[in-house]
């Protein structure tokens, strides 16, 4: 009879430890999931900011490459000017 009680007490103790370990594991998993979700949200915000910055850089690049701006820089900084029409030669392939 004592052997049965000892076995029963050991079994209850093992089950009790298992329940506690399972609870701690569930709490840790939920904590880690929240932590990872917060990190995901931070990365999403960073991605959105980088997308906005990329769009602004593309607009800036297109503004800098306009024909009028290139011609203006060529005239003001490089002192270039258009040749007279009689000096322009059109080459066809």
Question: What does the alpha-carbon distance between residue 14 and residue 12 come to, in Å, rounded to a whole number?
Answer: 5
> Which conformational region is residue 79 in: left (phi greater than 0), alpha (psi within -120 to 50 degrees), or beta?
left
Full-model pTM: 0.59
pLDDT in tens, 7-37: 999 999 999 999 999 999 999 999 999 999 9
Find the angle CA(23)-CA(27)-CA(29) to the nearest 5 degrees: 115
* In the chain, where the domains are located: 2-82
8 Å CB contact between 74 and 80: yes
Find the angle CA(92)-CA(83)-CA(89) to the nearest 5 degrees: 15
């Amino acid at each position: 009879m004592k052997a049965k009680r000892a076995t029963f007490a050991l079994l209850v103790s093992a089950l009790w430890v298992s329940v506690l370990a399972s609870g701690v594991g569930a709490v840790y998993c939920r904590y880690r999931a929240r932590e990872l979700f917060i990190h995901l949200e931070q990365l999403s915000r960073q991605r959105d900011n980088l997308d906005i910055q990329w769009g602004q850089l593309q607009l800036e690049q297109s503004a800098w490459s306009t024909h009028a701006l290139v011609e203006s820089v060529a005239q003001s900084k490089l002192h270039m000017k258009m040749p007279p029409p009689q000096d322009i030669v059109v080459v066809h392939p």
